[in-house]
Amino acid sequence: MEPYLSRLAALRAQMATRGLDAALLAPTDHMRYLVGWAESGHERLLALVVTADAARIVAPALNAADASSNARSMSSVIPWTDADGWAAAMAQALGDGADGCVGIDDELHAGHLLRMQELFPQARFRSASGAMSALRTVKGADELDLLERSAEITDDVCDLALRSLREGMTELELQEVIAAAYRERSVSMTFCIVGFGPNSAMPHHATDQTRLRRGDVVIVDIGCGLQGYQSDITRTVAFGRPDPEAVEVYRIVRRAHEAVYGACRPGAAACDLDRAARRVIEEAGYGPRFFHRLGHGIGLSGHEHPYITEGNSEPLAAGNCFSNEPGVYLDGRFGVRIENCMVVTEQGGRSLNRNAPPALPIL
């Protein structure tokens, strides 16, 4: 039952602090974190409802057996049928919470929340995000171990991908090399961005049929899930002799990336880490070309709290894990991004990935 029972207890403590009588989690990573299982009901409502004295899964009859055999630490499954709908099942799960304050998963279908508002006019609905983030942002030892192993697999796959670059290959062909390498390691690729040449200047480029040419800057941004725990790395290399400015931009982005480790300690504000990297890039004259946040939390979700962004003054705590991914993008020419994931320790920031090369690798 561990760690799920203690996670539920921690959620109840958060609910008490925040005045929530119930918390309603959709089949998202929040549910997976609390009961070790989540399966989409698609358009049908499937939810974990936590109150002070029970944790129940309201599930379509189709999913009820799966929920009963796979979910941990919950009290019961309340099935509902297409003929009857879910109103009575939800009323039973909420109990007295239906007249109180209900924390709602940010990713619950809007249609389901609108229906909840009709069914339970006495209830007040709030976001459950704060309560769940308070639990999930500080990683336990088992979680950290999985994140480190996930990062190590992605380091290896990224190295292999960069060694596989061949003139004329397409971005999609490289993506297939990466997907196959993950499969060989018995994990699944959760995302893959490959950008050749000018495509590297688009941070969220959709990998396509572009062919690799001599002199291209190449960005590879990939990750996998190991027992649900995500990894995320970006490496930038040159295939043959690149635009000389790319060598200089890499040096600046690498220094910005490095500055974050120095600024990272428990109690530091998230925005101070963003600032530490942004300052290096601004002072080098490329400030407007770094047009995204420094990073995002990582765990069961690829993007989660804490977000390392200007304006987030939330203090960091030991056990927080997030990406450190400064980038500079010159439209139509090239982009450089360097991304490692890191953990806050009492001694400062520690990378989960191997260090990025100090200078732009020219392959």
Residues of this chain that bind Zn ion (CB under 5 A) = 221, 232, 234, 323, 339
Find the radius of gyration of the CA atoms of the chain. 23
What are the residues facing 101 on neighbouring strands? 124
Determine the 3-state secondary structure of 60 from DSSP. Answer: strand
Q: Which letter does DSSP use for residue 45 in this model?
A: -
Distance CA(272)–CA(289), nearest Å, equals 19
Find the shortest distance in angstroms from Cβ 300 to Zn ion: 15
Place of tokens 């007249």: 99
Residue placing its CB nearer to Zn ion in the complex, 27 or 335: 335
Residue placing its CB nearer to Zn ion in the complex, 37 or 334: 334
Residue placing its CB nearer to Zn ion in the complex, 272 or 339: 339
Distance CA(363)–CA(359), nearest Å, equals 12
Residue placing its CB nearer to Zn ion in the complex, 75 or 190: 190
How many residues are there in the chain?
363
Find the shortest distance in angstroms from Cβ 329 to Zn ion: 14
Determine the 3-state secondary structure of 57 from DSSP. Answer: strand
Find the shortest distance in angstroms from Cβ 275 to Zn ion: 19
What are the residues facing 135 on neighbouring strands? none
Residue placing its CB nearer to Zn ion in the complex, 171 or 339: 339
Residue placing its CB nearer to Zn ion in the complex, 258 or 339: 339
Assess whether the previous peptide bond of 3 is cis (omega < 30° from 0). yes
Tokens, residue 111: 């249609």
Find the shortest distance in angstroms from Cβ 277 to Zn ion: 14
Q: Which of 243, 241, 254, 244 is nearest to 284 (CA)?
A: 254
Find the shortest distance in angstroms from Cβ 105 to Zn ion: 23
Find the shortest distance in angstroms from Cβ 293 to Zn ion: 10
Residue placing its CB nearer to Zn ion in the complex, 143 or 325: 325
Find the shortest distance in angstroms from Cβ 302 to Zn ion: 7
Tokens, residue 165: 């670059």
Q: Which of 318, 339, 131, 115 is nearest to 236 (CA)?
A: 339
Distances (CA, A) of 287 to 25, 121, 279, 310: 40, 49, 8, 13
Tokens, residue 332: 């139509």
What are the residues facing 221 on neighbouring strands? 193, 234
Residue placing its CB nearer to Zn ion in the complex, 221 or 258: 221
Residue placing its CB nearer to Zn ion in the complex, 21 or 221: 221
Distance CA(76)–CA(127), nearest Å, equals 24
Find the shortest distance in angstroms from Cβ 103 to Zn ion: 27
Place of tokens 């203090």: 315
Distance CA(234)–CA(174), nearest Å, equals 14
Find the shortest distance in angstroms from Cβ 22 to Zn ion: 33
